[in-house]
């Protein structure tokens, strides 16, 4: 666990960064598998002007779909913008160190790392951006963790038929999303930061549209926790928009006595947080998150051992972007609620 602390007592501040870079999990298929099990919906996007991504007449930030993940245009201190992964698995915003140096971002004099992630090594530093623009919305000043991130982001897909370069340099993490009470309307590919009253719906409004509300708990370390069940047992899962596929921890599947069959696919971590792990397909999990029944869904499992606390507890699994696409998700950090449509 990586911890930040302030050397300026007038500004109390503490962030924790997961040792596991949740948003940077890559999938490799060693042999063809049934398309419905592992393939998301079409990742084709229309050819559009790069500038149109920054045009936000509705007051929101438009995102771009790449594979099953979403990216937002971000500019720091007036620089040419690049693309940041929308990643609720990142407890704070993260930025590529080489790019940060090129933009002359200085190490913070107020905040520092008290421990260093074994995966990010000594080449990690806290920097402060005086101004950070997401789409056309000013979100700075902001504290950012900088380390060599571009090599890992290269593992994620770029949009199909994208006109020109699609430079991925950062993660849009939870310190910004929580502070701005972000409203993420997943399928419409819109993020509202500090949304107005007319942009926010009530729980009753969503239920009238066929949604079920699933409570979210933002932990003290800014991880997004969802309570759920597998069979008759209760577990806690991490909502991670930076992970393309929902995955259950293999040890939880084994302990629960659920049947599974090994596939020819492998899950890999570009940041080397865990060894390559074979993927299993789980049969008959009676899987629910909150009151939303996912029992009919084909569920995957792998040995990830994702640490969620200093005590060494692990998540029972990751709720990934595939769930968000398939069930028309809305994530409301103003009310800490995930809405999934029936």
pLDDT at 4: 36
The DSSP symbol for 44 reads B
Whose CA is closest to 254, among 306, 302, 312, 307?
302
Mean pLDDT, contiguous 10-residue spans, the chain (342 residues): 30 29 40 29 31 52 95 94 96 95 91 63 84 92 93 90 92 96 96 93 96 96 94 94 93 90 85 79 89 91 80 86 97 98 88
pLDDT at 43: 31
Using H for helix, E for strand and C for coil, what is the string for 154-214? Answer: CCCCCCECCCCCCCEEEEECHHHHHHCCCEEECCCCEEECCCCHHHCCCHHHHHHCCEEEE
Could you tell me the domains of the chain?
2-22+42-199 (2.40.70.10), 203-341 (2.40.70.10)
The distance of Cα 280 from the centroid of its chain, to the nearest Å, equals 22
pLDDT at 298: 87
pLDDT at 319: 96
* Cα 332 to Cα 342: distance, rounded to the nearest angstrom: 17
pLDDT at 112: 77
Helices (H) and strands (E) in the chain, counts: 7, 28
Whose CA is closest to 114, among 238, 4, 7?
4
Whose CA is closest to 128, among 279, 7, 43?
7
């Amino acid at each position: 666990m990586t911890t930040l602390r302030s050397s300026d007592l007038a500004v109390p501040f503490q962030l924790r960064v997961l040792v596991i870079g949740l948003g940077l999990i890559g999938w490799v298929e060693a042999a063809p598998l049934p398309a419905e099990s592992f393939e998301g919906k079409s990742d084709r996007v229309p050819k559009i002007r790069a500038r149109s991504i920054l045009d936000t007449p509705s007051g929101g930030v438009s995102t771009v779909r790449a594979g099953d993940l979403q990216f937002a245009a971000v500019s720091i201190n007036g620089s040419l913008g690049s693309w940041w992964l929308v990643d609720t698995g990142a407890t704070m915003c993260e930025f590529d160190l080489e790019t940060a140096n090129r933009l002359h971002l200085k190490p913070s004099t107020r905040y520092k790392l008290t421990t260093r992630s074994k995966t990010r090594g000594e080449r990690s530093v806290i920097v402060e951006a005086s101004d950070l623009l997401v789409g056309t919305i000013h979100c700075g000043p902001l504290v950012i963790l900088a380390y060599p991130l571009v090599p890992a982001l290269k593992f994620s897909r770029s949009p199909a038929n994208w006109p020109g370069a699609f430079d991925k340099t950062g993660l849009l993490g939870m310190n910004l999303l929580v502070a701005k009470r972000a409203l993420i309307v997943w399928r419409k590919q819109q993020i509202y930061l500090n949304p107005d009253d007319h942009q926010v719906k009530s729980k009753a409004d969503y239920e009238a549209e066929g949604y079920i509300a699933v409570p979210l708990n933002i932990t003290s370390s800014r991880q997004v926790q969802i309570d759920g069940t597998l069979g008759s047992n209760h577990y806690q899962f991490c909502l991670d928009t930076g992970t393309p596929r929902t995955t259950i921890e293999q040890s939880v599947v084994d302990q629960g006595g659920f049947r599974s069959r090994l596939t020819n696919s492998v899950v890999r971590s570009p940041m080397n947080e865990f060894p390559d792990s074979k993927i299993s397909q789980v049969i008959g999990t009676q899987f629910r998150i909150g009151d939303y029944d996912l029992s009919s869904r084909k569920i995957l499992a792998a040995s990830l051992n994702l640490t969620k606390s200093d005590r060494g507890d692990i998540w029972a699994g990751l709720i990934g972007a595939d769930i968000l696409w398939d069930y028309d998700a809305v994530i409301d950090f103003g009310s800490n609620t995930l809405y999934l449509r029936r």
